[in-house]
Structure 1
Amino acid sequence: MLPNYPHHIVQRGHNRQVVFADARDFEYYLSDLRELKEALGLRVYAYCLMTNHVHLLLSPGDTPASLGRLMKALAARMTRYRNRLEGRSGTLWESRYKSSIVQSDTYLLACSRYIELNPVRAHIVLKAEHYPWSSYSLRVVEPTENNWLDIDPCFEALGSTELVRRERYKEFVEQVAPNGELDLIRSALQRGQLTGSSRFVEEIEQITGLRITSRGQGRPTKNLNKD
């Protein structure tokens, strides 16, 4: 974990068991996420809750350990909640979540799109706005005053007004992703590697003093910072 860098995180139910069975389960988790991100000083840029796993795009600010504390608290609270409902005991989640540090300027919006299109790729809905348990509805559909998402700098750079930013992001999500982008994001997450270019890998190596194994690079996302 590194301070002030976005992290793409996925956590799955143990043996892919159901974590969210109905609307109350989704609402409980999101309420905890909103509460804990404020308490721990993290930023939430995107999320998607699926039946047996969650995707989160988070930035830990100046305290990278806060990210681990958030994930531990979210997992523990949801486990207690489900165990109470079902009158059972035992684990709910896989033992360890997966994470990938994301290159902000090139791949942050691409990771948001990847996360929010999960239900579309899974053939649960036809469009991202039809799924109620992802950040897409907050980002594009809901009135601004209901939006508790943190605005990342790449989204903010899409336009000078909230309306323009929403419209341009919606167009971006509806575009076909460049060749290799999905595989790059998925592979980086599964292997715990960086989501970014070779130059980004070098930057992180300089910061950490560690040699980082790289992998094939997909074509970067087109610049959306229009006039």
Structure 2
Amino acid sequence: MARQPRLNLPDVPQHVIQRGNNREVCFFEEQDYKVYLSKLEEYSQKLKVSVHAYVLMTNHVHLLMTPKTSDGVSRLMQSLGRYYVRYINHKYERTGTLWEGRYKSTLIDSEQYLLTVSRYIELNPVRAEMVAQPGEYPWSSFRRNGLGVAISLITPHEVYERLAKTDKTRQKRYLALFEKTLSEYTLEEIRQSVNRAWVLGSSKFKQQIEKKTGRQAEPRQRGGDRKSESFKRKNQML
């Protein structure tokens, strides 16, 4: 199935994934992670994109961000990607691309899915069996969102802030969310939405996005599906 064009709307969170070319390593040593995060913060401030969650894996990155403008995320990813490729190629005396084509992204229904996607992102190192607990991984926003470590890059989303009135209680309640395992259905739902650029949210949210953009927010049922309207109409005529 052909990949859908990206959806970009101001003030709507996006889950973004960018992978190394052929799934190869894109972070080689500690300084590389630090450079990427430093430039991510610089461009996020310059382009008015709030970063709520992130994880830098060895061969890909996950970001949860909300732009103030419709092209904020795309401009950030373009600027960040180009800078980091130049940095890596110069440092390691290599040539060619580092990233696997275009980054992937999807719009997120903040009320329904923002905290779920944040957990999904921060649990990546645990699922990859790199660490036993998310707080053990140094290149993740979990240290800020769950443990209260100061990370200037992170701007808490209002959904996160509504967890409690104080930072300590907020972090405690956020940590409590990690006590429940993300179901296989939820994991697949998140993966499919970002890989295929389908909107991740409630039916109402998807309808709102379709109205604003004029583009499908989710795959339509096939004509032969017994639940589809076209199938019903066809069989009523027989």
* TM score, norm. by length of structure 1: 0.90
Identity over aligned pairs, percent: 42
Superposition CA RMSD, Å: 1.5
Counterpart of 1:174 (choices 176, 179, 203) is 179
- Give the CA deviation at 1:215: 7.2
Counterparts of 1:1-227 in structure 2, within 5 Å, are 1-61=8-68, 63-144=69-150, 146-178=151-183, 180-214=185-219
Separation (CA, whole Å) in 1 of partners of 2:216 and 2:76: 28
Number of residue equivalences = 214
Q: Which runs of 5+ in 2 are unaligned?
A: 1-7, 222-238
Q: CA 1:117–1:134 in 2, change beyond 3 Å: closer, same or farther?
A: same
Query: Is the CA contact 1:198–1:214 (under 8 Å) kept in the aligned structure 2?
Result: no
Separation (CA, whole Å) in 1 of partners of 2:149 and 2:25: 31
Q: Which runs of 5+ in 1 are unaligned?
A: 217-227
Query: Is the CA contact 2:143–2:149 (under 8 Å) kept in the aligned structure 1?
Result: no
Paired residue type of 1:42: V
Separation (CA, whole Å) in 1 of partners of 2:31 and 2:61: 16
Paired residue type of 1:51: T
* TM score, norm. by length of structure 2: 0.86
Query: Is the CA contact 2:148–2:167 (under 8 Å) kept in the aligned structure 1?
Result: no
- Give the CA deviation at 1:148: 3.3
Query: Is the CA contact 1:140–1:170 (under 8 Å) kept in the aligned structure 2?
Result: yes
Q: CA 1:155–1:55 in 2, change beyond 3 Å: closer, same or farther?
A: same
TM-superposition CA deviations, 1:193-213 (whole Å, max 9, x none): 111122221111111123333
